[in-house]
Amino acid sequence: MTKLLSLGELLIDMLPQDSQNSAYLPIAGGAPANVAVGYAKLGGKAAFCGGMGDDYFAKQLSKSLAQYKVSTEYLFTIKDSQTAVVIVSLDETGERSFNFYRHNTADLLLTSEHLNHIKWDELSTLHFCSNTLTNLAIANTTVCALKLAKNNHKLVSFDVNLRYSLWQNSNDIEQNVHACYAYCDIVKLSRDELNFLAEQTQQAPDDYLQAILNTGVKLVFLTDGPAPATVYHKAFILSESAPIINAVDTTSAGDAFIAGVLYYLNHTDENTPLNGKINNEQLVKHALSFGLRCGSKACLAKGAFPALPTLQDVT
C-alpha cells in the first residue's frame, strides 16, 4: 500500500511564452496537484483531493490529471464556482513570481463532508501545502483531513510553500502553519520560508527548526535554490548539493523534490513500515538525493506537469 493522496488547489497556471511575459498559455497546475502528478510520473499510485470549478478550465484540469494517471475520484465539482488562476512571470534566470486570481474559487470550497468519501485504507500518505490555510473555512477542512489521516495511521507530508499574497494578514501565517505541525511526519521548507517564520516567532532559524521537531515532526527538509539541501531529524542532520544545471523554469522544482522524496520512501524497502523508514538515516539520505535529482530535472523544461520527471529521467 503506497498510494499518495494530495490535498489542495488545482488551478490554471498562465505561463509566459516569451522572455517579456507578453503572451501566456493556460496550463494545469497547483502545488499539491503537481506533487500528485510528479509521484504518478515516477510510477507511483496517486490521487488528488480538492474542489473543481464548474467552468471550461475545470475540464482541462480533470483531463490533465487523468492524462498522467492521477485518480480523480476525490476531485469534487463545486456547482457555479470558478477555477482559480495564477499569472506566473519568469525573470532572466527562470525564477518565478505569482499573481493569484482566487476569490471564492472552487479550491477554497472543499468541505469536511467531501472528506467522508476518502477510502483511507487504500492510502499510505497524505500530502498538503499552506495554500489551503489562507482562510478559515478551507483551513478547517484541511485540519479535518489531517486528523483523519493521523487517526488512520497515514504518513502526513507538509510542503509549507508560502504564497504571501494569498494571506489577508501576514501576521497570521506562522500561527496557522504551526497549528499543522502536530499532525505532520514530514515538513518541507525553503530557506526564505524558514527565515520568515522564524522572524514571526522572534527565533533564530536553527531554533525554529528545533521547535518544529519538538512538535513531533520526524523530518524537516530545507531547500535553498541551487545551494545544498538539508534534512533535519532529532538523531541526525544530512546535507547534499543539488545537481548543477542551467534552469529554464523553476515553477515545479520544489513539488518535484517532495514528490521524489515521498516516492522513494514509499517504494524502497517495502517490507519496512513508513514510520520506520523516516527514522532510518541511510534511507532518508537516499530519499534526499533522489528528491534533489527530481527537482533539478523539473527545472529543465517549462510548465508544471510536463516538466516533472519520470523514473527513467532520474535513474
> 3-class SS at 18?
coil
Over residues 76-90, the pLDDT tens digits come to 999 999 999 988 777
- 234-242, long-range: CB < 8 A, 24+ apart: 235/279, 235/281, 236/281, 236/284, 238/281, 238/284, 238/285, 238/288, 240/285, 240/288, 240/289, 240/292, 241/292, 242/292, 242/295, 242/296
- Residue 20 pLDDT more than 80? no
Phi and psi, residue 192, nearest 5°: -65, -40
Which cell is 87 given?
A: 499569472
Report yes or no: 5 and 125 within 8 Å, Cβ to Cβ. Answer: yes
The Cα–Cα gap between 118 and 114 comes to 8
- Residue 171 pLDDT more than 90? yes
pLDDT the model gives residue 27 = 85
> 3-class SS at 240?
strand
**How does residue 248 score in pLDDT terms, banded at 50, 70 and 90?**
confident
* Mean pLDDT, all residues of the chain: 93
pLDDT the model gives residue 302 = 76
Phi and psi, residue 104, nearest 5°: 55, 35
Q: Which amino acid is at 50?
A: G
**How does residue 151 score in pLDDT terms, banded at 50, 70 and 90?**
very high
- Residue 251 pLDDT more than 80? no
- Residue 130 pLDDT more than 70? yes
- Residue 18 pLDDT more than 80? no
Report yes or no: 304 and 255 within 8 Å, Cβ to Cβ. Answer: yes
> 3-class SS at 277?
helix
Report yes or no: 24 and 98 within 8 Å, Cβ to Cβ. Answer: no
The Cα–Cα gap between 265 and 284 comes to 8
pLDDT the model gives residue 51 = 96
- Residue 309 pLDDT more than 90? yes
Q: Which amino acid is at 212?
A: I
- pTM of the full structure: 0.94
The Cα–Cα gap between 266 and 260 comes to 10
Residue 34 CB partners (closer than 8 Å, separation 6+) = 252, 255, 256, 259, 304, 305, 308
